[in-house]
Structure 1
Amino acid sequence: MLEALKQAGGDPSAITSGKFATLVVSANKVLAKSELPGIHFEAEEMPTGIKACITVEPEVKIPQPVHLCFGMLAQEGIQEIIARYEIGEDAQVAFLAHCTFPNAKQLKHLMEAEIYVGARARMSYTESHYHGPHGGIEVRPYAKVFVGEGGRFMNNFNLIHGRVGRLEIDYEVDVSREGVAELVAKVYGLEDDMISVKEFVRLNGEGARGLTKTRIAVRGRAVSEVFTTMEGNAPFARGHMDCTEIVRDQAVAKNMPLVIVRDDRAQVTHEAAIGTVNRKELETLMARGLSEEEAVDLIIRGMLQWV
C-alpha cells in the first residue's frame, strides 16, 4: 500500500515516521491511525468500506499536514468512504489525501463527506488520485460543506497521471458571513475517459466569497462536462467561476455555468475557454526537438500544474 501511495504522489515516510497525524485505509481495513494533540480519528469498518469522523478541537492549529490515504490494490471491488469532518472554531488544519487504485480494472470508489468548518477556522484539503493505466474504475466523490462565519475552506482535486476511468465530482458548499470557499479541480482525460464536475456554491452571508477554478484536458475520445452554479444570496457577496478546457483528437468538452443573484449588492462573474493548445507554444517546443505528441502533453501538464 505504501508503494501504491508513491504512485499517487504521496510520501510513505510521512505515514511511517510518527510525526504526522495519519489515517490509512485499504479497501475496508484501517491499516494505520496516528493522532496528534487536538485532532482525533474515529473509524468504523464496514463490509465494503469505512465510516470515519475526523475532529479538530477549537483553537487548535495543526502545524504539519494531516496525511490521509484511501485505496485498493485489487483489480475489482468496491470501496465506500463515509466521512465527517468537524473543524472547531478558530482551528487551522491542512489535509493531504492520496487515493490510489493502481490495478483497477472493474472497481468503484464512492466517497460521501460532510464537512463543517467552524467560525474563523481554516481548512484546506488537497486530494491527489492515481487510478492506474487501465481506466477500469468509477470514482464518485460527493461532499456537502458548511463554512461558518469568517471561516475558510480550500479544496484542490488533482488527477493528472494515469487514466481517469469514470469520474463524477459533486460538491455543494454553503458559505456564511465573511466566509470564503475556493474549489480547484485539475483532471487529464485520455482514451475513453469520462469526466463530470458538478459544483454548487451558495454565498449566503454578507461579504461571503467564492471561487471555482476548473482545468481539464481531454484527448482521444474522452468526454468532460463541467456544471458550475454559484448563488449570490447576501449583500456584498462576491463570487467567480473560471473554467479552461483543452480538447484534442476526437474528445468533447462541455461547460455549463449558472449564475444566480438574489441581492442587488452581490456580484457573481464567470469566464470559460474551450479550445486546443496554443499554436505558437506548440511550434516553439517542436522547434526545440519535441514531437507534436510530446509538445502537446508538456503544454497540458504545464497548465494543470500551475493552477
Structure 2
Amino acid sequence: MSPELNAPGISEEDKARLTQSGIELSMQNRCGSYLQMNQDVLHAECQEEGIEVLSYRKAMEKYDWLKEYEWKAVPKDKDEITQYVASQTDPKGYVIIAHKGTKNILPIQACLYLGRETIQHVHNIIIAEEGAELHIISGCTSGGHVGQGAAHYGVSEFYIKKNAKISFTMIHTWTENIEVFPRSASIVEENGVFLSNYVCMQPVKKIQMYPTATLKGENSVARFSSIIIASPSSYLDIGSRAILEGKGASAELVTRAITKGGTIISRGQIIGKTAGTKGHLECKGLILKDGTIYAIPEIDGRVVGTELSHEAAVGKLAQEEIEYLMSRGLSEDEATATIIRGFLDVKIAGLPEALQKQIDATIDVAEKAGF
C-alpha cells in the first residue's frame, strides 16, 4: 500500500475540502494516486500490477505510441480553452493506462488542487486496453482563500477498448471565485462501457462543460450521471452528449439539478446515427430559492431503427410531501432535507461500491450544511 500523500502548504481546512472531494491523503482505500498543486506534480503512482499512473510529461517520454492518442478525442483547436492548454510548452496532467486484461478493485484518485490566483491547466489521457477495467475518482478543489482571477482549464481524453470499462467519478469542491472549464471526450469500442459521474454541490463562480462520448463499437455503452447545486452566485452551464455510431450502442444521460438562487443550464444531446441504437435523456430540476434552470434536451435521430427518448421537468418542493413527513414527526427542515436527499439519490448501475459510497458521502456533507 502506498504511504500517506505529502501535501505541503495545504492547511487543515483545505485538507478537509480535499476529503469532501473524495481524496484520501492516507491512501487507505486507494490503489494509486495523482496529486497536482497548482502546476506542480507532487505524486504519480499506482500499486496495482498492470496499471500505470504517470505525469503527462513522463508518460510521453516513456511511450512514443501515446502520440497516437494525444488530441484525438478532443481536438486541440476545439475552442480557446483547448488552444490554451495545447500551447503550453510544459504540459501538466496525468496519463492512466490499464493494460490488457487488468482491473483495479480499489479506485485510483486524481487530485487537482488550486491554491493561488492563476490558471491551472491539465491535459489527461486515460486508456483502458482490451478487457481492462479502470475505476477513477477525480477530486478537484481550491483553497478557501483563493480570490478572483483563478481558473481551472482541464482537458481529458478517454479511450475504452474492446470489452473494457472505465468508471470516472469527478467531484468538484471549488470556491465562489473560481471559473472552471473542463473539456473532455471519450471513444468507446466494441462492448466497451464508459460510466461518467459528476458531482458539484459547493459554491463556484462559473463552470462550463459538455463532455461527449462517441460510441463507435458494436454494443458499446455510455452513462452520464450529474448531481449539481447552484448557489446564488453560481453560473453552471453543464451537459453531456452521446453519439451512437456502433450497432447496438446505447446511452443514458441523467441530471439532477437544484438552484438556491444561481443559474443552471442543463444541456443534453443524443445523436442516433445507426439502426439498432438506443438512448434516453433525463433532467429533473428543483428551484429552492429564486434562480433559473434551463433544461435543453436534444434527441437527433438520423436513421430508421434508432430509439431515442427524453424527459425534462423543473419545479419546486411539494408542500404536501413536507407536511406528510412533518405529520410523521420530522421538523420542517428535516422533512425538506429528506425530500431533497431522495431527489438527489441517483444510483449508477455498474458503479463500484467505493465510488457510490463517495458520492453518498458528498451528499451527506451537503445535507449537513443545509444543501
Amino acid at match of 2:17: A
Aligned match of 1:71: 113
Superposition CA RMSD, Å? 2.1
Partners of 2:199 and 2:29 lie apart in 1 by: 26
Distance 1:39 1:6, change over 3 A: same
Report how many residues are paired.
Answer: 299
Q: Is the 8 A contact 1:157 1:185 kept in 2?
A: yes
What one-letter code is carried by the residue in structure 2 that aligns with 1:119? Answer: K
Deviations 1:52-92 (A, max 9, x none): 22211111112221111111233x22211111111101101
Matches within 5 A, 1:47-58: 50-58=92-100
Q: Whose strand fraction is larger, Structure 1's or Structure 2's?
A: 1
Displacement of 1:285: 4.2
Which of 59, 69, 93 matches 2:101? Answer: 59
Specify the alignment match of 2:39 in structure 1.
Answer: 28
Check if 1:4 corresponds to 2:17: yes
Report the counterpart of residue 124 of structure 1 in structure 2: 167
* Aligned partner letter, 1:40: E
The equivalent residue for 2:53 is 41
1:38 to 1:73, Cα distance in 2 relative to 1, 3 A: same
* Residues 151 and 245 (structure 1), Cα distance of their counterparts in 2 relative to 1, 3 Å cut: same
User: How many percent identity over aligned positions?
Assistant: 23
Residues 200-219 of structure 1: per-residue CA shift (max 9 Å, x gap): 21010100000000111001
Structure 2 match to 1:232:
272
Please give the per-residue CA displacement for 1:101-132, whole angstroms capped at 9, x wherever unaligned: 14143221111111100011011001111114
User: Is the CA contact 1:102–1:130 (under 8 Å) kept in the aligned structure 2?
Assistant: no
Deviation of the 1:297 alpha carbon: 4.5
Higher helix share: 2
The structural deviation recorded for 1:20 is: 1.2
Q: State the shift of 1:298 in Å.
A: 4.4
Q: Does 1:138 align with 2:191?
A: no
Please, what TM-score do these two structures have when normalized by structure 1?
Answer: 0.90
Deviation >6 Å, runs of 4+: 45-49
- Cα deviation for residue 289 of structure 1 reads 5.1
Aligned-pair CA distance for 1:168 = 1.2
1:100 aligns with 2:156: no
Q: Separation in 2 of the partners of 1:237 and 1:306?
A: 24
AA partner of residue 13 (structure 1): S
Distance 2:203 2:91 in 1: 23
Show the counterpart of 1:203. 244
Equivalent residue letter for 2:54: E
- Does the CA contact (< 8 Å) of 1:49 and 1:79 recur in 2? no
Q: What residue number does 1:88 align with?
A: 129
**Aligned equivalent of 1:173, options 196, 207, 213:** 213
Q: Which moved more, 1:113-122 or 1:272-281?
A: 272-281
Closer, same or farther in 2 for the Cα pair 1:248/1:198, shift >3 Å?
Answer: same
Match of 1:115 among 134, 148, 158: 158
Structure 1 unpaired stretches of 5+ = none
Find the aligned partners of 2:179 and 2:335 in 1 and give their Cα distance: 30
Pick aligned residue for 2:297 from 257, 264, 278: 257
Distance 2:345 2:123 in 1: 29
2:258 is aligned with 1:217: yes
For the 8 Å contact 2:204–2:233, the answer to whether it is kept is no
Residues 102/279 of structure 1: CA separation in 2 closer, same or farther (3 Å cut) = farther
Structure 2 length as normaliser, TM-score?
Answer: 0.75
| Farther off after superposition, 274-283 or 237-246 | 274-283
Show structure 2 runs of 5+ residues with no match.
1-9, 58-87, 348-371
Paired with 1:229 and 1:98, the residues of 2 have a C-alpha distance of 26
Moved more, 102-111 or 173-182: 102-111
Q: Secondary structure at the match of 2:210?
A: strand
